[in-house]
Amino acid sequence: MASEDHLRRIVGVAALVATFGLAMESAVAADAFESWLVGVRREARQKGVKPATLDAALGGIRPIPRVIALSKRQPEFTLTLDRYLKIVLSDERIEKGRKRYSEHRVLLRRASQPHGVQPQYIVALWGIETKYGAIMGGFPVVGALATLAYQGGRRRFFRSELVNALKILDQGHITPNRMVGSWAGAMGQNQFMPSSFLAYAVDGNGDGRRDIWGTLPDVFASSANYLRRVGWRRGESWGREVRLPEGFNRALVNRRKRMGVAAWKRLGVRRVDGGPLPISTIKGRIIIPIRHGGRAFLVYQNFRAIKRWNNSDYFAIAVGKLADRIAAAPDRR
């Protein structure tokens, strides 16, 4: 019995030592993070952010382990275009997009007309980014950005975005508890990073704030302003899927140089259903997203503008196709 009591005491002491060690390690880590935050506060103050804003936004925050875990487990992009479009262009997303387009037709027109962006593209971006505002992410943006800036792989980038987020709070557009987004800091119903918010978000309802989380006039007008500012061309389409003729010169695929629709028509390029390309003065280029064969697309300047939002051919094709389905109008260009 004595030996058993002695063994239990040894185990108990060992457990206490281990617990104490973990507590000390945690305290040291917390102190290091707080010291790092001092530098963030200093930088933000130098850029005009008020002390009261910093106290409200940074007080009590800690690194978020889940954010680091997600940053290290990003899946490799292996989906085919067909599979990607099947997921993104689900019947549910198309149907909801048509309903939202109809419900908010007046608001969408008011937000889009000054920027020359067709409303269906605003709705398509809204639907793909957050399922029409239903899934905006549940991470506190300041905490997520602070975590990535402190111990992530792109610290300089995320530190800059953290300071930008603090500027947004300081300007009064949103409160810290409502500033939620993805684990990487993309915010609101159109998933703007803080730098994109500062550059492109606009006040769509005249209340003096740019609320892309809960105010649809701001969400719609901000998306339209973004596209206009990155080169959207009023009245033009994004492009279309096409059929290439047998023996088509593949050296003409995925090139930067654009040619007029009439020139592509002379080379035998046709609509995907086999019909002739329309008469148009628009210039475009042929892309095939999959390197070895696959579906071909004739894309225009507005496709490039969509890629400024998200630099992915798959994403831009999905936005264009969803916009076409939402508007349910024939592609005339």
Q: Determine, yes or no, domain membership for 84.
A: yes
Whether 21 and 57 share a structural domain: yes
Q: What is the pLDDT of residue 14?
A: 46
Residues 6 or more apart whose Cβ sits within 8 Å of residue 39 = none
The total of structural domains in the chain comes to 3
Whether 64 and 152 share a structural domain: yes
Domain ranges, residue 322: 79-134+211-235+311-333
Q: Determine, yes or no, domain membership for 278.
A: yes
Q: What is the pLDDT of residue 73?
A: 76
Whether 267 and 124 share a structural domain: no
- Per the structure block, which two tokens stand in for 312? 């992915």
Whether 20 and 118 share a structural domain: no
Whether 9 and 45 share a structural domain: yes
Whether 243 and 288 share a structural domain: yes
Q: How many residues does the chain have?
A: 333
Q: How wide is the angle at C-alpha 320 spanned by C-alphas 315 and 322, nearest 5°? A: 90
Whether 182 and 329 share a structural domain: no
CA pair distance 307, 174, nearest whole angstrom: 28
Q: What is the pLDDT of residue 48?
A: 97
The pTM assigned to this predicted structure is 0.87
Whether 286 and 173 share a structural domain: no
Each residue's pLDDT tens digit, 216-226: 999 999 999 99
Residue type, 13: V
Q: Determine, yes or no, domain membership for 64.
A: yes
Q: Could you give phi then psi for residue 138, rounded to 5 degrees?
A: -115, 15
Q: Determine, yes or no, domain membership for 206.
A: no
Q: Show the 3-state SS of the chain.
A: CHHHHHHHHHHHHHHHHHHHHHHHHHHHHHHHHHHHHHHHHHHHHHCCCCHHHHHHHHCCCCCCHHHHHHHHCCCCCCCCHHHHHHHHCCHHHHHHHHHHHHHCHHHHHHHHHHHCCCHHHHHHHHHHHHCCCCCCCCEEHHHHHHHHHHHCCCHHHHHHHHHHHHHHHHCCCCCCCCCEECCCCCECCCCECHHHHHHHCCCCCCCCCCCCCCCHHHHHHHHHHHHHHCCCCCCCCCEEEEECCCCCCHHHECCCCCEEHHHHHHCCCEECCCCCCCCCCCEEEEECCCCCCCCEEEECHHHHHHHHHCCCHHHHHHHHHHHHHHHCCCCCC
CATH code assigned at 36: 1.10.8
Q: What is the pLDDT of residue 21?
A: 42
Whether 127 and 146 share a structural domain: no
Whether 1 and 72 share a structural domain: yes
pLDDT tens for the chain, 333 residues: list them: 555 665 566 555 444 444 444 344 444 467 899 999 999 999 999 999 999 999 999 998 999 999 999 998 765 567 889 999 999 999 999 999 999 999 999 999 999 999 999 999 999 999 999 999 999 999 999 999 999 999 978 899 999 999 999 999 999 999 999 999 999 999 999 999 999 999 999 999 999 999 999 999 999 999 999 999 999 999 999 999 999 999 999 899 988 889 999 999 999 999 999 999 999 999 999 999 976 568 999 999 999 999 999 999 999 999 999 999 999 744 444
Q: Determine, yes or no, domain membership for 98.
A: yes
CATH code assigned at 96: 1.10.530.10
Q: What is the pLDDT of residue 74?
A: 63
Q: Determine, yes or no, domain membership for 304.
A: no
Q: Determine, yes or no, domain membership for 178.
A: yes
Q: Determine, yes or no, domain membership for 204.
A: no
Whether 173 and 280 share a structural domain: no
Whether 4 and 74 share a structural domain: yes
